Amino acid sequence: MMRGAAIPAQASRPGLILQVSLGEFHRQIALPRAVAAAVLFIVPALALTCLAAGSYLMFRDDMLASLMRRQASNQFAYEDRIAALRSQIDSIASRQLLNQDSFEGKMAELTVRQAKLESRSALLAALAARIDPQDLSAARRPGTAAPAQPPAAASQAAPAPAAARENFKPAPEGFDLRRAHPLEPAGEDVSENVDPALPNQRLRTFSARFDRIEQRQIAALNGLKAPAAAKAERLREAFAEAGLPVERMVRQAAARPDKDGVTNVAMGGPFVPATSPERGGEFERAYASLNTSIVTMDGLRRALPFAPLRQPLPGPLDVTSTFGYRTDPFLGKPALHSGMDFRGDYGDPVRATAAGRVIAAGPAGGYGNMVEVDHGAGLTTRYGHLSRILVEDGQWVQAGATLGAIGSTGRSTGPHLHYEVRVDGAPVDPSRYIKAGRLLNAGL
């Protein structure tokens, strides 16, 4: 029987000594130190290599499957992350597009609003031009209540009375949205408390400025309403005092000839319905109220020249006989005196008390030389006992025009003017008209 065993070399011997025993055969093999070291390291390495190779061959499929699963999981995670980033980018882009659309929409709204404010300014200027500066001054005389105005707009609401027609041109100032750079303000520093780099804040600034302009326009409307309403009320009171048919005279005055005798009814244009005050805002309601007052004032003012509210003679009137029943100076019997008699010097001028057309000029029985003027709306005036007549039938005369001269023709006891006012052919008391004219002049 052969046995072998490795016997370590003695410390004094180099290398490694192997002792081989096979029965009676005994032999020692001495290995150099380098070979021994190689054997000690190579053999375990080979064993480990074989073990690793065997393990790899046994578990290769499982490892590959695990690696593939991990790679697929990482890929899916990356794809999900990329999809989330793309969704976020799309969301940001969508918000930017929405913000851009919203900004452009707001800009369009501001442009429309600016155009509306400019048209309102034109309306205000036109309405202010229709109000006489004297009426504005009268509305602000001491003791006259001033129109109510918002405190913030009181200093800029209405123009100065003396410059109502020349300087009162309310207009949106300090902005122009139709320029190349609409967000750049002009004439006003809007940088206070506002970051100029933020367009939305600029839009809010312009919107606030438009609000202030609109409030000033409304205050201006309220400031113009008081004088217009006051003038219309004074005219209406004068017409009522005289007993004149106001609505009838206003309707006919619109179609009456102007100072040159030409009927001023040439007008037209396409029909564009106005915004109903009930459906509009505060400006529309204030404008409708002011326009009503101005239309009433204009109608009464147009009818005023045709109302016999003036004196037929200049200076103080010396009444020698009033309207009504009296004792006839020739027969001594009761008789109706259809007018008023005013004493005057022979040849003094007799003036028309209202505008109209001469319908009679010549001898007329007891009137002597008489002129009759038709003022429309059923109103006529007669001027009798004239020494001479300076107008002719069919002639158009203005209020205050000289018709003739005082005389004593016809049934007359001395130089005087017989003056009559007739409504629908019936004589009425002229003193009512003269009194109403004096009250109107006193109010002006």
Q: How many CA atoms lie within 13 A of 281 on its CB side?
A: 9
Is 358 contained in some domain?
Answer: yes
Tell me the DSSP string of 66-112: HHHHHHHHHHHHHHHHHHHHHHHHHHHHHHHHHHHHHHHHHHHHHHH
Structure tokens at 180: 């190349």
Per-residue pLDDT tens over the stretch 80-135: 888 888 888 878 877 766 666 566 777 777 778 788 888 778 878 877 777 766 66
The answer to whether position 178 is within a domain reads no
Q: Is residue 412 part of a domain?
A: yes
Q: How many domains does the chain have?
A: 2
Residue 219 lies in a domain: no
Handedness of CA 107, 112, 117, 121 (dihedral sign): positive
The pLDDT tens digits for 50-78 are 888 877 777 777 777 888 888 888 888 88
Helices 246-253 and 199-242: crossing angle, nearest 10°? 120
Q: Which domain holds residue 14?
A: 2-31
Supply the CATH number for residue 414's domain. 2.70.70.10
Is residue 384 situated within a structural domain? yes
Is residue 128 domain-resident?
Answer: no
Instruction: Report which of residues 13 and 390 the model is more confident about.
Output: 390
Query: Are 377 and 306 within 8 A, CB to CB?
Result: yes
| Residue range 301-314, pLDDT digits in tens | 888 888 898 999 99
**pLDDT of 276:** 58
Distance CA 179, CA 184 (A): 9
- Per-residue model confidence (pLDDT) at position 243: 79
Q: Give the Å distances, CA to CA, from 223 to 135, 137, 217, 283, 287.
A: 12, 12, 10, 13, 11
Residue 202 CA to residue 220 CA, distance in Å, equals: 27
Q: How do residues 262-282 score in pLDDT, each as one tens digit?
A: 455 555 656 556 555 555 677
Residue 346 lies in a domain: yes
Q: Which residue has the tokens 């109706």?
A: 336
pLDDT at 193 over 90: no
Instruction: Look at residue 123 and tell me if it is in a domain.
Output: no
For the question of whether the overall pTM of this predicted structure is more than 0.75, the answer is no
- What is the 8-class DSSP label of residue 10? P
